[in-house]
DNA sequence: GTGTGATTTGTTATGATATAACATCACAAC
DNA sequence: GTTGTGATGTTATATCATAACAAATCACAC
């Protein structure tokens, strides 16, 4: 259902993917750009094009509520994944949950809606921040 | 769980809410601004402040994947609603679904994540566009 | 009705995110 | 070697959002 493209990853897409994978947490296009200025990349369109290629292959996701991008943990499910975003520490955890997916699919069917992509983003507090009494600063 | 504020809606918030309700589909902050220039509103911060007030009251929602805002259909559930967005005709339908909500809550509990807000956005094709053979133009 | 504080509003400027448009390059197919 | 396609570089600009500060308005005690 995803990752249909088996052709070789273009150079810039590979650079961006590597950057995101190392980064670990979501990065904005401009953070990626800043991180790759030494590698011949100098302008936003280059980043956005590379991101488009990664998104098409399921190798990265856009986190809508952060206007940011992450390398993908499980490319096989890129059309129905989700993110849990801690508002205290900024950590983002990707998940794929069959219960949520089936509930969403049932809903879409009931509404006679042909789903192509599902965005699920949970904003809240992660366990680590709750356990430390919420005094963790954002970053 | 939402709409805790019972104080009177400020003038600009009321203007923006009325605009969104008439508009029917999601509008960007700048579309709202353009629609209200005749009413003494002349700059983006005024719109964003009014939107913040509406969001806090559950009278409007932000559609993350469109960077746009809609008036709310059912204020009682504003922390766990969803949108079905047709990529062909641009229509947006709001929904609240207990199955999806409970699946998300179960997932969050399993992940030990304290959910404050849930974003669910389905992108795809609405029944009307499917039935008309996808030849509907975007707008 | 006057003072006081809180909220709302107006205004200018700027920051942050994303894309249009067009030229060039790399490479495979023929 | 020409042609077609996809990738890349570059400049400029469109779009979305907020910082910072001043002024107006409102609620309410006195």
Query: What does the pLDDT read at residue B28?
Result: 98
Asked if the structure places residue A2 within a domain, the reply is: no
User: Would you call B119 an interface residue with chain A, using a CB distance cutoff of 8 Å?
Assistant: yes
Are A113 and B83 within 8 A, CB to CB? no
Same domain, A65 and A107: no
Tell me which chain B residues have a C-beta less than 8 angstroms from the C-beta of A116. Answer: 87, 123-125
Are B55 and B72 within 8 A, CB to CB? no
**CATH code at position A60:** 1.10.10.10
Residues B129 and B112: their CA atoms lie apart, in Å, by 40
Distance from CA of B91 to the nearest CA of A (A): 11
Q: Shortest CA–C1' contact from B51: which nucleotide?
A: D17
Q: Give the residue from A72, A91, A116 where a domain finishes.
A: A72
Same domain, A61 and A84: no
- For B22-76, how does the pLDDT look when each residue is reduced to its tens digit (9 = 90+)? 999 999 999 999 999 999 999 999 999 999 999 999 999 999 999 999 998 666 6
Asked if the structure places residue A3 within a domain, the reply is: no
Tell me which chain B residues have a C-beta less than 8 angstroms from the C-beta of A84. Answer: 108, 111, 113, 115
Same domain, B54 and B88: no
Same domain, B64 and B111: no
Same domain, A56 and A81: no
Asked if the structure places residue A138 within a domain, the reply is: no
Asked if the structure places residue B110 within a domain, the reply is: yes
Q: Exposed, middle or buried, A113 (CB in 10 Å: 0-12/13-18/19+)?
A: buried
- For B99-128, how does the pLDDT look when each residue is reduced to its tens digit (9 = 90+)? 999 999 999 999 999 999 999 999 999 999
| Cβ < 7 Å from strand C, B residues 15-54 | 40-46, 49-50, 53
Same domain, B65 and B88: no
Asked if the structure places residue B1 within a domain, the reply is: no
Task: Enumerate residues 78 to 117 of chain A having a beta carbon within 8 A of any beta carbon in chain B.
Answer: 82, 84, 86-87, 93, 95, 97, 99-100, 102-104, 106-108, 111-117
Total number of domains in chain A: 2
What mean pLDDT is reported for chain B?
A: 88
Same domain, B15 and B67: yes
Distance from CA of B67 to the nearest CA of A (A): 9
Domain span including residue B29 = 11-73
Q: Give the residue from B55, B73, B91 where a domain finishes.
A: B73
Residue B119 and residue A115: Cβ atoms within 8 Å? no
DSSP result, A27-70: B-HHHHHHHHGGGT--SHHHHHHHHHHHHHHTSEEEEGGGTEEE
Same domain, B15 and B69: yes
Same domain, A85 and A64: no
Residue numbers in chain A where pLDDT is lower than 70: 1-6, 73-80, 134-139
**CATH code at position B114:** 3.30.1490.190
Same domain, A61 and A40: yes
Q: What is the dihedral of CA A134, B1, B6, B10, to 10 degrees?
A: 70
Q: Give the residue from B73, B101, B120 where a domain finishes.
A: B73
Same domain, A94 and A68: no
């Amino acid at each position: 259902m995803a990752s249909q493209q088996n052709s070789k990853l273009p150079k810039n897409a590979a650079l961006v993917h590597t950057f995101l994978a190392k980064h670990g947490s979501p990065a904005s296009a401009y953070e990626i750009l800043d991180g790759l200025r030494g590698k011949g990349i100098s302008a936003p369109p280059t980043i956005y094009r590379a991101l488009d290629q990664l998104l098409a292959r399921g190798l990265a996701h856009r986190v809508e509520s952060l206007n940011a991008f992450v390398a993908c943990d499980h490319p096989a499910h890129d059309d129905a994944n989700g993110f849990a975003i801690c508002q205290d520490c900024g950590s983002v955890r990707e998940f794929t949950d069959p219960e949520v997916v089936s509930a969403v699919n049932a809903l879409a069917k009931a509404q006679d809606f042909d789903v192509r992509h599902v965005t699920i983003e949970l904003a809240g507090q992660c366990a680590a921040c709750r356990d430390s009494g919420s005094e963790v600063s954002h970053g």
